[in-house]
Amino acid sequence: MQSVRRLAHLHVGPIRDYVHASDKSYDPSSLYATAVSTNFTDASLRKSESRTFVDPQLFELCESLVREVSASDGAYEYTLAPDNLTHIRYSAGGFFSRHTDHCRSISNLIEEFTFIVNINLEGTACKGGSTVIHVATASGDTSPITYDCTTSLGGGLLFRKDVEHGAQQQLTATQAAHRSPPHALSLPFLSQRASLSRRARSTCSA
């Protein structure tokens, strides 16, 4: 589907090393209540730990990742939104129930995306924690599609913020023994509407 892209073997080494070297503390991951513009926590809806970064050096490292993703896309050219970057750590039993991400509604000419990329310390794939995208069907219902790309180091999933999605439950404590907890970095991407972006690229290549 056009609003979802999976990627693999992205160059995340410097980003992973920088994030994991930080001594910034983790907090229980929160949710955002749009109606009252407030963050809150609810372990029945989301169970993980996270920490946010507003760090020029990390933003600079992530810019190379933005360019890498843009170069592989024939329709869109992305920019990193001037926002925080979120490092998410899942432990046994962790999950994120079905939801959409908050959109800032900057302009009707701009599309907003979430990009989730695996920055796990180990090169082996995580067990559990795949990303599930809920796709609208012709009948008006939705159908879940599971993407395993976010369970392997350097694997990423890019989707519009208004697309319903979630994270499958992680392994139990016994199953997760001898494995480091899965880690992901969530980045806010912006792009012009597809038709405008394609036109801009066509003009540049002419």
- Report the C-alpha gap between 26 and 10 in whole angstroms: 25
What interhelical angle do 56-71 and 13-21 show, nearest 10? 160
Is-contact 12 61, C-beta < 8 A? no
pLDDT value at residue 74: 83
Q: Which token pair is 137?
A: 């069907």
Query: DSSP assignment, residue 150?
Result: G
* Average pLDDT by stretches of 10, the chain with 206 residues: 84 95 96 88 94 94 95 90 88 89 77 93 76 88 91 93 90 48 87 50 34
- Report the C-alpha gap between 136 and 113 in whole angstroms: 18
* Mean model confidence pLDDT for the chain: 84
- Report the C-alpha gap between 135 and 115 in whole angstroms: 17
- Report the C-alpha gap between 119 and 126 in whole angstroms: 11
Residues with Cβ within 8 Å of residue 100, at least 6 apart in sequence: 161, 162, 163, 164, 165
pLDDT value at residue 170: 79
pLDDT value at residue 201: 39
pLDDT value at residue 141: 87
pLDDT value at residue 105: 67
